[in-house]
Chain A
């Protein structure tokens, strides 16, 4: 008998007033009982619309059925068929706009907690499974992957499963891309990312860190001198965008990328780290923007002891961040100043941030994106007293690869142009993720990595 409760099982989490002072994981995951109870809410319906809502088409009812049979490892294997990073996706996917959005249980009541179940299964596997992933027989073809973020890792995993000789080149000193430099420990523990990377290595994938492709070696050299027959570019988000308002280069103005890199990659919140970060104890911080990255920056600032405002030009309803991140941020005491937009940042005599002048906004007619366009209310400027400002407005793709690869076409915004197979304007060179689309989500990058792997396989097998 299915569980007909209209509500999802709540996921246990750290108390908001405790967790907003530490960097430990916020959500604690379902217990076995909770997972079984939640899994029983799935009707295993014939059309399974949830699968179509998943960018990598995880066979959702199938893995949930395995849970109800207490076959957790079996459930993991079902997910792993199509997703290389289950423990990551279960934590950071925006399920409410993907799989869970289409769940029939959501018509009357809450959808099945698919993300929470995915996380339970992945964590169970990580804790209990001792099995090393099988190392497939080599097919002798060499593929280079640039960037070890979600797109690159997914592409590497799929190609390695097919027997390709895969090398992943990472510019930073640690593999994982945005999963290690961007998403904070309290949302995605770094040990989980490390496990995923180790899993790929066990399958024979080589990971070369400290390799800035475009500088130390070009794509042409990878193909001509080092014998790579195909290349996948998953170089990710590039330079942070700014608003081009006065005062943006004052001391105390960070891009979210810089702020989060200092904290996540460089561990600046720990006393034993040599990397500094501004002392935010008792200070006021304004995070400008409303996406997941803005929520991460706001919640990190809170954990460093600051009072935090999120300043966003549209309303609460329009916040592009995952719902759960917004809810967690509110619970942790972050103040949302929506329908406000910064017009300038003001400094003291030492050029340190002292306040930010904002203007109130109202929503007008829908724009090209279908969202209602924010319009300034004339004469509504006011000063918000702050000590630091974190700009979280998205990124533009990294210019390095484009400028060092002949014949690689990019669009007006600098994103690499690809066709429906993920192929760039260069033969044998594929691309996907933020390098193509500009800032998006982990799961979309994974979808692009999957497509890249499929296309590279078809290309090399048809050669």
Chain B
């Protein structure tokens, strides 16, 4: 079974889980993801790996409590087990041979941006980082980012911390200052990745995005995670999750991801009500 060896609420709705999964820990690389199921009737959800400890045999994920499954997950405690935990899935992010890169993370996507950023740093690149959050209360991993990036810009939507505004504005400033990057790596909400790609396109800077479409099996069987990239159908689970941000059909990807929004909202509410009843 896949035991939770450490659980830490980074923020009330942003929780770190360190899971015992020695075989996955042995192979995991930045940019890859896992699929988990909380319980027997649970859905399979893909979560990108935040960190791994090969010696301890653990894989760490950071999850925002946002729907039914993540709600159920948030009620699991240290020592509890997950029903299923499978991976590492997808191709690792290519981080070698870069001199100067900028990593852009949005919200809980920063949990995934961090290991990629660290790998770039460890491979000898100069790393700039732009991270964005809704407000001060949701800022995570600031110290970790600072330790491995030579420039760190923190943005909040409401200006309650760092600079006010979107990550694309901060990225634009870095470009205006004359920074020349070999690559931009963006991870976060689809809409953010779309606009990061739009920002870098005029400069012709290679821009890699880590896509998180709806997925079921995650092993290259069902085709649910397909995207249109450069006019071709690609499967995020085996061809990705990293893609060329300038080639992704963003509007379609964004819409496909909202396919089950009503169901998800209803299911989340039902789940919350169940937990409320248990407390009462």
Q: Is the CB of A239 within 8 A of B223?
A: yes
- The minimal Cβ–Cβ distance linking B234 to chain A, given in whole angstroms, is 10
Q: Is the CB of A249 within 8 A of B256?
A: yes
User: Main SS of chain B's interface residues?
Assistant: mixed
Q: Is the CB of B220 within 8 A of A216?
A: no
Q: Is the CB of B219 within 8 A of A249?
A: no
Given the complex of chains A and B, what is the CA–CA distance between A242 and B227 in angstroms? 13
Given the complex of chains A and B, what is the CA–CA distance between A250 and B228 in angstroms? 10
Contact pick for B87, options A172, A173, A216, A240, CB 8 Å: A216
Q: Is the CB of A276 within 8 A of B264?
A: yes
A-B contact pairs, 25 of them (CB 8 A): A212-B87, A212-B219, A215-B87, A216-B23, A216-B86, A216-B87, A216-B88, A237-B221, A238-B221, A239-B220, A239-B235, A240-B222, A242-B223, A249-B233, A249-B252, A250-B252, A251-B259, A258-B223, A258-B224, A261-B217, A266-B216, A275-B43, A276-B263, A350-B255, A400-B220
Given the complex of chains A and B, what is the CA–CA distance between A244 and B226 in angstroms? 13
Residues of B within 8 A of A237 (CB): 221
Please count how many residues in chain A sit with their CB below 8 Å of the partner chain's CB atoms.
44
> Given A215-B87, A276-B260, are A257 and B255 also a contact pair (CB < 8 Å)?
no
Q: Is A28 an interface residue (CB 8 A)?
A: no
Q: Is B147 an interface residue (CB 8 A)?
A: no
- The minimal Cβ–Cβ distance linking B26 to chain A, given in whole angstroms, is 8
Q: Is B210 an interface residue (CB 8 A)?
A: no
**Closest CB pairs A-B (n = 4):** A255-B223, A276-B263, A210-B86, A240-B223
Q: Is the CB of B41 within 8 A of A173?
A: no
Q: Is A267 an interface residue (CB 8 A)?
A: yes
Q: Is B267 an interface residue (CB 8 A)?
A: yes
Q: Is the CB of A171 within 8 A of B217?
A: yes
Q: Is A4 an interface residue (CB 8 A)?
A: no
Q: Is the CB of A400 within 8 A of B88?
A: no
User: Main SS of chain A's interface residues?
Assistant: loop
> Given A258-B222, A273-B41, A400-B220, are A212 and B86 also a contact pair (CB < 8 Å)?
yes
Q: Is A454 an interface residue (CB 8 A)?
A: no
Q: Is A181 an interface residue (CB 8 A)?
A: yes
Q: A274-B69, A276-B260 are in contact. List 19 more A-B contacts (CB 8 A).
A: A171-B86, A211-B86, A215-B27, A215-B89, A216-B24, A217-B23, A238-B221, A239-B221, A239-B223, A239-B235, A240-B223, A249-B233, A249-B256, A251-B259, A255-B223, A258-B222, A261-B221, A275-B216, A276-B263
Given the complex of chains A and B, what is the CA–CA distance between A212 and B85 in angstroms? 11
Q: Is B183 an interface residue (CB 8 A)?
A: no
Q: Mark B42-54, 1 if CB is under 8 A from A, else 0.
A: 1110000000000
Q: Is the CB of B227 within 8 A of A249?
A: yes
Residues of A within 8 A of B88 (CB): 215-216
User: What is the interface of chain B, defined by CB distance below 8 A to chain A?
Assistant: 23-24, 27, 37, 41-44, 68-69, 83-89, 216-217, 219-224, 226-228, 233, 235, 238, 249, 251-252, 255-256, 258-260, 263-264, 267
- The minimal Cβ–Cβ distance linking A387 to chain B, given in whole angstroms, is 13
Across the interface, name the chain A residue whose C-beta is closest to B86. Answer: A210
Across the interface, name the chain B residue whose C-beta is closest to A351. Answer: B255
Q: Is the CB of A266 within 8 A of B224?
A: no
A73-109 interface with B by 8 A CB criterion: none
Q: Mark A253-280, 1 if CB is under 8 A from B, else 0.
A: 0110110011001110010111110100
Given the complex of chains A and B, what is the CA–CA distance between A244 and B234 in angstroms? 12
Q: Is the CB of B89 within 8 A of A274?
A: no
- The minimal Cβ–Cβ distance linking A341 to chain B, given in whole angstroms, is 19
> Given A216-B23, A276-B263, A398-B221, are A261 and B238 also a contact pair (CB < 8 Å)?
no
Residues of A within 8 A of B87 (CB): 212, 215-216
Given the complex of chains A and B, what is the CA–CA distance between A286 and B217 in angstroms? 24
Across the interface, name the chain B residue whose C-beta is closest to A172. Answer: B217
Interface centre among A172, A210, A249 (most CB of B within 10 A): A210
Across the interface, name the chain B residue whose C-beta is closest to A268. Answer: B43
Given the complex of chains A and B, what is the CA–CA distance between A254 and B255 in angstroms? 15
